[in-house]
C-alpha cells in the first residue's frame, strides 16, 4: 500500500479506512489487535505499560496545563500511508462545528495554557481555521499550525501564508525525510517536490530564518518499522542537506515515532511488521522519556468536542475521565477535575516512551 497526494492533479486515490469500511476503522478493533500481540519486556515478563511506568519512578499524572490541542477534523487534501488520524479528502464526516470551535475559545479562557496547537487532517481546510487563529492570538496565546505543506500550494490558499505570518503562527510542517524517495514512499509520488516548493514559499515569507515570531519547525517520522533517530544529530544533518540541495532553511526539527494505530497499523499488518515493531517499542522503553510525554501538559480536543489526554488517544476514542468517572467534554470542562484525573493508557503508549521518547513536541528526552 502506498500514500497518495490528493489535489487537482492527482490520479488514483487511496481512500481512508472509514471510506472503505475497513475493520480497522473501528478503534475497538485496533485496540483488540494490539492487545493480541504477544509482548514481553526485557526481563521476560508480559509487557505492561502502567507497570513499566511505575517501575521507572515517574508518576504519570497531569502537571500544569500548557497546551490546548484542537483537532478541527479529519478532512485533508492528502491520504498518507502512515496517518494515525485516518484523514483524507473523503473525511467530511468528521469536522468540528462552529459552535464547538467557539466552545474551544471559551475553554481556552478558563485555562492557563500558553499555546493553542491546531491540527487535523489539514486544519487549514476548515472554514473556521482563521477565526480560531485570530481568537487565540487576540487572547495572547501562541498558535501552532500543524501543516502538511502541500495544502499551502492549493490555489484557494494564496493568502494563507501572509495570514500566518501576520499572526505570528508557528508552522510545524510534516516532512518524513530530506530525500524524495523516502518522503514519497510514505506520502505519495510527487509529495517531496511539492513540499520543497511550499518550504521555499515559507522562507520567502520570513519563516525558517531564526525569527521567533515566524518559526518553522519540521517534523519527521520514519518511513518504515523503525524508531525515530537522535533529534539533535538529525537536525544538524537536515539543515545542511536541505540548504545545500534545495536552498531551504528551517528553525528546528522534531522527530517522532510512528504510533501503531489507524493506517500505520494497517501497514504494519499488511507488511508483516506488527510483532517486530511492537517488540521494538517495548524493548526500547526508556524511563527518562516518561516525564516529557505530552499527556502530562496537553489537553486534546476532538472534532466533536470530546476531550482526550493526547491526539493518539483521541483517534482510539479513549476519552479522558474525571476521578469520579465522568467523561470529559469541551462543553463542561473543569480545570481542577482535569488536574486530578488519571491519564488513560494502553499498549500504544509504548510508542511515546521508546528510544528518545516521542510526542507532538518531538523527543521527550531532548
Q: What is the DSSP string of 245-276?
A: HH----SEEEE-PPPSSHHHHHHHHHTT-HHH
Alpha carbon 226 to its chain's center: 17
The span from the CA of 70 to the CA of 22, in Å, is 26
pLDDT at 187: 85
Using alpha carbons, select from 353, 180, 171, 347 the residue that is nearest to residue 257: 353
The grid coordinates of residue 128 equal 473556521
Using alpha carbons, select from 277, 258, 270 the residue that is nearest to residue 1: 270
pLDDT at 9: 29
Contact 113, 68 (CB under 8 A): yes
Quickly count: other Cβ atoms within 10 Å of residue 320's Cβ: 26
The distance in angstroms from the start CA to the end CA of the chain is 33
H or E element at residue 194: helix 191-204
Q: What does the DSSP 8-state code read for residue 63?
A: -
Average pLDDT value over all residues in the chain:
93
The grid coordinates of residue 55 equal 517501575
The span from the CA of 143 to the CA of 362, in Å, is 17
pTM of the complete model: 0.94
Per-residue CA distances from 152 to 145, 170, 171, 258 (Å): 12, 14, 11, 24
pLDDT at 11: 27
Is the CA virtual torsion 163, 160, 171, 310 positive or negative? Answer: positive
Q: What is the DSSP string of 76-112?
A: -SEE-TT-SS--BTT-TTSB--HHHHHHHHHHHHTS-
Kindly give the parts of the chain with pLDDT less than 70. 1-13, 366
pLDDT at 256: 92
pLDDT at 12: 30
pLDDT at 116: 98
pLDDT at 79: 92
Spell out the domains of the chain, with CATH numbers in brackets: 4-352 (3.20.20.70)
pLDDT at 366: 60
Place of cell 532553511: 249
Tens of pLDDT, residues 253-310: 999 999 999 999 999 999 999 999 999 999 999 999 999 999 999 999 999 999 999 9
pLDDT at 3: 38
The grid coordinates of residue 306 equal 470530546
Contact 134, 108 (CB under 8 A): no
Within a 13 Å sphere around the CA of 263, how many CA atoms are in the beta-carbon half? 25
Using alpha carbons, select from 120, 96, 100 the residue that is nearest to residue 108: 100
Amino acid at each position: 500500500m502506498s500514500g497518495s497526494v490528493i489535489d487537482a492533479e492527482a490520479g488514483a486515490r487511496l481512500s481512508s479506512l472509514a471510506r472503505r469500511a475497513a475493520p480497522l476503522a473501528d478503534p475497538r478493533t485496533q485496540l483488540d489487535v494490539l492487545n493480541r500481540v504477544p509482548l514481553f519486556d526485557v526481563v521476560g515478563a508480559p509487557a505492561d505499560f502502567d507497570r513499566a511506568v511505575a517501575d521507572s519512578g515517574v508518576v504519570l499524572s497531569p502537571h500544569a496545563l500548557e497546551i490546548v490541542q484542537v483537532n478541527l477534523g479529519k478532512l485533508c487534501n492528502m491520504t498518507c500511508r502512515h496517518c494515525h488520524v485516518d484523514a483524507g479528502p473523503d473525511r467530511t464526516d468528521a469536522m468540528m462545528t462552529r459552535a464547538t470551535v467557539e466552545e474551544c475559545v471559551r475553554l481556552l479562557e478558563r485555562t492557563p495554557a500558553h499555546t493553542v496547537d491546531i491540527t487535523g487532517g489539514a486544519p487549514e481546510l476548515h472554514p473556521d481555521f482563521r477565526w480560531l487563529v485570530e481568537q487565540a492570538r487576540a487572547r495572547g496565546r501562541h498558535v501552532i499550525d500543524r501543516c502538511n505543506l502541500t495544502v499551502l500550494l492549493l490555489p484557494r490558499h494564496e493568502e494563507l501564508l501572509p495570514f500566518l505570518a501576520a499572526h505570528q503562527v508557528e508552522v510545524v510542517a510534516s516532512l518524513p525525510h530530506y530525500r524524495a524517495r523516502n518522503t514519497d514512499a510514505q506520502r505519495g509520488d510527487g509529495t517531496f517536490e511539492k513540499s520543497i516548493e511550499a518550504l521555499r514559499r515559507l522562507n520567502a515569507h520570513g519563516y525558517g530564518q531564526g525569527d521567533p515570531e515566524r518559526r518553522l519547525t519540521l517534523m519527521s517520522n520514519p518511513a518504515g518499522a523503525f524508531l525515530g533517530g537522535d533529534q539533535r544529530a538529525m537536525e544538524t544533518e537536515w539543515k545542511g542537506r536541505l540548504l545545500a540541495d534545495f536552498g531551504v532553511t528551517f528553525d528546528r526539527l522534531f522527530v517522532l515515532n510512528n504510533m501503531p494505530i489507524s493506517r500505520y497499523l494497517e501497514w504494519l499488518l499488511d507488511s508483516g511488521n506488527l510483532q517486530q515493531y511492537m517488540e521494538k517499542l517495548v524493548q526500547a522503553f526508556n524511563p527518562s522519556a516518561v516525564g516529557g510525554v505530552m499527556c502530562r501538559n496537553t489537553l486534546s480536543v476532538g472534532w466533536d468536542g470530546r476531550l482526550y489526554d493526547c491526539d493518539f488517544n483521541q483517534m482510539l476514542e479513549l476519552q479522558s475521565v474525571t476521578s469520579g468517572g465522568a467523561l470529559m467534554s469541551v462543553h463542561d470542562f473543569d480545570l481542577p477535575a482535569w488536574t486530578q484525573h488519571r491519564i488513560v493508557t494502553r499498549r500504544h503508549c509504548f510508542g511515546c516512551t521508546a528510544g528518545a521518547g516521542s510526542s507532538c513536541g518531538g523527543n521527550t528526552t531532548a
